[in-house]
Structures are given as C-alpha cells and as structure tokens.
Amino acid sequence: MVLIIAGGILAWQYFGAPKEEAVEDETVDWEIYRNEEYGYEIKYPQDWKFEGEWGAPPSPMFTYRWNDGGYCRFNVVVTSVDDSGAIAGFIEKGYEQTTYTIDGILGIKLTKSPQDPQDYIYFSKNLDYYRITKFSSKDIHEIECIEKFYQILSTFKFIGLEETKE
C-alpha cells in the first residue's frame, strides 16, 4: 500500500505538477524615454519614432506610421495645472470615464468608442498632473494602435523622484 501511494505521489509530481512557463517580455528590446525633470520613463517599440518635445510645457511625442499613410501616436504632458475642467468637458462630449492604474497610481481613462482616434489617461502624483494621449488616423489600423498604446502604457514607471515637490 505504501508503495502504491509513494508511486502515485511520484507520478503526480512528474506528470501532474503544473509546469512553469517562461513569460517573454516583448518590451525587452524597446527604446526607453526618460524624463528626469518629472521622474518617469516609458518604453516604446524600436519601429516607433521619437518626434521630439512639443508644446508648453514640452511633452514628448512618439509616432508609428504605416506604409499606407495611417499613423498612431501618443504624448505625455505633465503640468502643475489641475485638468479636472478638461475631464468634465470630455465627459460632456460623450467620453466614458473608467478608472485606470498606472505604476500603482489610480487615474482616469477617457474613451469615446472602441475605435475613436483619441484616448486620454489622467493621473496625478507629487502635485503634478499627467495626461497621456493616444492619437490615430482613425483607419483600418485603429485596433492595432489601441493595443500597442496600452502595451506601451504598461511600461510607464516613476523613477527616483522625491515624494514631495516644493
């Protein structure tokens, strides 16, 4: 009887124990944009282009272009001004508000429809207000753009910024 139980345990360990599957990090070879002033970094695919910093305050812009002229882009805006008025305006225009967590910070995600050319993510940390926006050419590539945007967004993380700002 002991042999049967021992044999059963050994068989279960060999055949029945769940195997650990290696999770491949698809972002391992991606480029990294670091913003030391606001203490964050975000990864983006090598086939995307860093377009530079635009606007006031300067915000990085990243773009992917398809051969047929379609594009997908996103930018990160950091400001000391509360954007709650802009958020209310988007909701009045029919955008749906849901919660979204980015690097442990609870924020707001605004979307209008599954294939709308813009999505907005709002959150705040250390008296700074962040807005990350996805823009697209609203074409046959929209679903791919949305998927890539949220994969890129999953790499956003805060780096070495003190917890309080003066």
pLDDT (mean) for 138-163 = 86
Q: Across-strand partners of 34?
A: 41
Q: Burial level of 132, CB count in 10 A (0-12/13-18/19+)?
A: buried
Rounded Cα gap, residues 44 and 50, in angstroms: 9
Of 161 and 131, the one with more pLDDT: 131
Within 13-139, residue ranges assigned H as helices are: 84-92
pLDDT at 19 over 80: no
Provide the pLDDT confidence category of residue 166 given band limits of 50, 70 and 90: very low
Stated pTM of the model: 0.77
Domains and CATH numbers, the chain: 29-158 (3.40.1000.10)
| Residues 78 and 99: beta-carbon distance below 8 Å | no
Rounded Cα gap, residues 89 and 84, in angstroms: 9
Please report how many Cα atoms fall inside a 13 Å half-sphere around the Cα of residue 50, on the Cβ side.
14
- Is beta strand 105-111 parallel, antiparallel or unpaired with respect to 118-125? antiparallel
pLDDT value for 26: 83
pLDDT at 161 over 70: no
The amino acid sitting at 15 is F
- Is beta strand 31-35 parallel, antiparallel or unpaired with respect to 118-125? unpaired
